[in-house]
């Protein structure tokens, strides 16, 4: 009910506000040049020549978007398979399924990352493809290997066998990389051409002074509160299945929570971007990504509360095991939310500038 109310409220505010904006802009177009010069020029229409300018650090940005789209596809497929096949009945089956699905969905990463990099005018597409392919595997493997060294030192049963490490590296080089290359080539050829509704100015427009709460850093910090609020009850059950070793089996409810998270994330990032563009700040790409990805910060902060109040872990090995894998989980969740927020915001920005007549 809270999510339905939030989506309705956001939709109503945006529709009413945008209708007023369109009416104001069409009235301005009917004025003669002198009246228009004397009038107050402000709002999101004024940055139409810069809003589709490539983001800063497009190589990293497009790799993050591609990785986030892949994580979303993996989450969706694994939850559907778990609902159908009852994966929780066998130990390790969920992890094996996730690794297989992640390798199989590598073309999704290449397609979205490669096409976005091409649209932003990127030239080093092979480097972008390598970074996109190995961003998540390097993070996961690096954390796992670090914890593994501590586990070997303590002679713990949680130590990963050497053969498993070699198998994972082989999957990265011989499955993930070629499939990512295929997706990148398809993305560059099918949707790599820039087709923006507005022409990009040669010289960037100066960004005017604005109130402190309209700064991108403040928007980023506040953007993750509502998405985290929509999933934090589910986080408790997921953490319990991770760390209290209780069986999690309500995957239908998890699917509902994933849908709710996507809707809330898109709504919040669209509102944040609208305020930013109204303040004539066109740096919306990274802001929309990071404001959605900041959900991960709140999830990681919640993991501290869970560790100290809900678990009985202690010692270097258990602490590093817990916080290492929680960092991986939170980062992957943040990248996924960031990609979802950027995709929804990108569609919104394209829509509002398509509907405005610009000379």
Among 323, 332, 356, smallest CA distance to 74 is for 332
Do 137 and 271 belong together in one domain? no
- Assess if residue 260 is contained within a domain: yes
Residue 144 and residue 239 share a domain:
no
Whole-structure pTM over 0.85, yes or no?
Answer: yes
Could you tell me the residue range of the domain that residue 282 belongs to?
A: 208-358
Same domain, 89 and 131: yes
> Are 269 and 302 in the same domain?
yes
Please list the pLDDT of the chain residue by residue as tens digits (359 residues).
767 777 787 777 777 777 777 777 777 666 555 444 434 445 777 888 888 888 888 999 999 999 999 999 999 999 999 888 776 666 678 888 899 999 999 999 999 999 999 988 888 889 999 999 999 999 998 998 888 888 888 777 767 777 888 888 888 888 999 999 999 999 988 887 888 877 888 788 888 888 888 888 888 988 888 899 888 888 888 888 888 777 777 788 889 999 999 999 998 899 888 888 888 888 889 999 999 999 999 999 999 999 988 888 888 888 998 999 999 999 999 999 999 999 999 998 888 888 776 65
Number of domains in the chain: 2
142 and 260 together in one domain:
no
Domain end call among 165, 194, 223: 194
What pLDDT is recorded for position 350? 87
- Does 65 share its domain with 189? yes
pLDDT value, residue 36: 47
Does the residue 235 lie in any domain?
Answer: yes
So what's the pLDDT on residue 89?
64
Residue 203 lies in a domain: no
Same-domain status, 171 and 81:
yes
Tell me, yes or no, whether 214 and 354 share the same domain: yes
Residue 280 lies in a domain: yes
> How many whole angstroms separate alpha carbon 59 and alpha carbon 131?
8
pLDDT for 106: 93
Q: Can you give the pLDDT at residue 173?
A: 87
Residue 346 lies in a domain: yes
Q: Are residues 212 and 181 in the same domain?
A: no
Residue 293, domain member (yes or no):
yes
Q: Is residue 276 part of a domain?
A: yes
* Shared-domain flag, residues 236 and 183: no
Last residue in a domain, options 143, 172, 194: 194
Residues 183 and 219 in one domain: no
Based on the domain organization, do 223 and 189 belong to the same domain?
no
Q: What pLDDT was estimated at residue 39?
A: 41
pLDDT of residue 74: 95
């Amino acid at each position: 009910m809270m999510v339905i109310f939030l989506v309705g409220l956001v939709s109503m505010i945006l529709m009413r506000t945008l209708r007023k904006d369109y009416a104001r802009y069409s009235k301005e177009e009917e004025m003669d040049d002198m009246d228009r010069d004397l009038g107050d020029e402000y709002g999101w229409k004024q940055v139409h020549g810069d809003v589709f300018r490539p983001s800063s650090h497009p190589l990293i940005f497009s790799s993050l978007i591609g990785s986030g789209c892949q994580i979303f596809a993996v989450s969706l497929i694994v939850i559907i398979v778990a609902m159908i096949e009852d994966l929780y009945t066998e130990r390790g089956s969920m992890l094996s399924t996730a690794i297989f699905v992640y390798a199989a969905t590598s073309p999704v990463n290449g397609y979205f990352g490669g096409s976005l990099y091409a649209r932003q005018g990127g030239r080093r597409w092979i480097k972008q493809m390598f970074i996109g392919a190995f961003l998540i595997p390097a993070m996961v493997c690096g954390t796992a290997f670090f914890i593994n060294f501590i586990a070997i030192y303590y002679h713990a049963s949680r130590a990963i066998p050497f053969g498993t490490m070699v198998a994972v590296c082989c999957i990265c080089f011989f499955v993930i990389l070629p499939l990512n290359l295929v997706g990148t080539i398809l993305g560059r050829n099918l949707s790599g051409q820039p087709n923006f509704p507005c022409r990009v100015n040669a010289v960037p427009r100066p960004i005017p002074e604005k109130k402190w709460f309209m700064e991108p850093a403040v928007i980023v910090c506040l953007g993750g509160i509502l998405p985290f609020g929509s999933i934090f009850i589910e986080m408790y059950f997921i953490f319990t299945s991770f760390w209290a070793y209780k069986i999690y089996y309500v995957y239908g409810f998890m699917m509902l929570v994933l849908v709710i998270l996507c809707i809330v994330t898109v709504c919040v990032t669209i509102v944040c971007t609208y305020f930013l563009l109204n303040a004539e700040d066109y740096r919306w790409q990274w802001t929309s990504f990071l404001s959605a990805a900041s959900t991960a910060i709140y999830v990681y902060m919640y993991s501290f509360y869970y560790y100290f109040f809900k678990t009985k872990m202690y010692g270097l090995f258990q602490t590093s095991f817990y916080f290492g894998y929680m960092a991986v989980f939170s980062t992957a969740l943040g990248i996924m939310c960031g990609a979802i927020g950027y995709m929804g915001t990108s569609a919104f920005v394209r829509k509002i500038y398509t509907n405005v007549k610009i000379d």
